[in-house]
Amino acid sequence: MLCNILVVDDHVLFAEGMVAVFKSMWSGCVVHTLRTPSEALVALKTRSYDFLFLDLLFPAEPAYLTESFLADCRNNNPNLVIIMLSSVLALSQIRHCLKLGVNGFLSKCTSCDELRGAVESRHDQKPLLSADICRLFLEEARLLEQSILTKKELEVLQSIAAGHSVKQSAAMLYLSTYTILAHRRNIMSKLDLHSAAELVKYAFENNLN
């Protein structure tokens, strides 16, 4: 695979490690490293790159990441794929970066296979996210779903997942069978589930049993 990659990170050992990884993957890959976003802007004005891997945090340039910075990066490289790198994964920061217009966000714990996949899927329209970041978003979505259930609805869901019948659940929770059925309907409506089997599956997948 022929491509030009620029890695910008003030941690020299990490940057050189990325160079070694990329070159081991593709013999035709040209990889350069720089230490600051300011240096990157200068380099991008004089050379064409396919990828810019950019550390999120630079103590010397704490507020460098802006829409205008990204626009300047792409001024002479309109198809430049910009991927952020960070060892600190905060969903608010990741959302902010994606909103500004970066193409992806990878954890510094990303595997070599994921790194290869990020480069090889550069033409995909969806954001490039490492597996651990995807898990964070899924966990957030799971917690958000659960937060829309009332305490009593969660108790009913757990009882159903434990294999109890409507009558048994009613007896255990000191509710009428009518109330249990009403709670079950509400749960299914809120979570967009359509059968008792889906209810049980949801509970097991989200450790609610």
> Tens digit of pLDDT for each residue in 97-117?
999 999 999 999 999 998 998
Each residue's pLDDT tens digit, 144-163: 777 788 889 888 988 888 88
Once rounded to an integer, what is the mean pLDDT over residues 60-71? 94
Kindly tell me if the per-residue pLDDT of 58 is higher than 80: yes
Provide the 8-state DSSP code for 88. Answer: S
Which pLDDT belongs to residue 123?
67
User: Which tens digits make up the pLDDT trace of 7-48?
Assistant: 999 999 999 999 999 999 988 899 999 999 999 999 999 999
Name the domain boundary from 80, 102, 131: 131
103 and 119 Cβ atoms separated by less than 8 Å = no
8, 104: one domain? yes
Alpha-carbon distance of 88 to 66, in angstroms, equals 19
95 within some domain:
yes
Range of the domain at 158: 145-205
Residue 106 lies in a domain: yes
Q: Any long-range contacts for 57-65 (C-beta under 8 Å, 24+ apart)?
A: 57/86, 57/88, 58/10, 59/10, 60/10, 60/36, 61/36, 61/37, 64/37, 64/38, 65/37, 65/97, 65/100
Same domain, yes or no: 33 and 88 = yes
**Residue 141 or 15, more confident:** 15
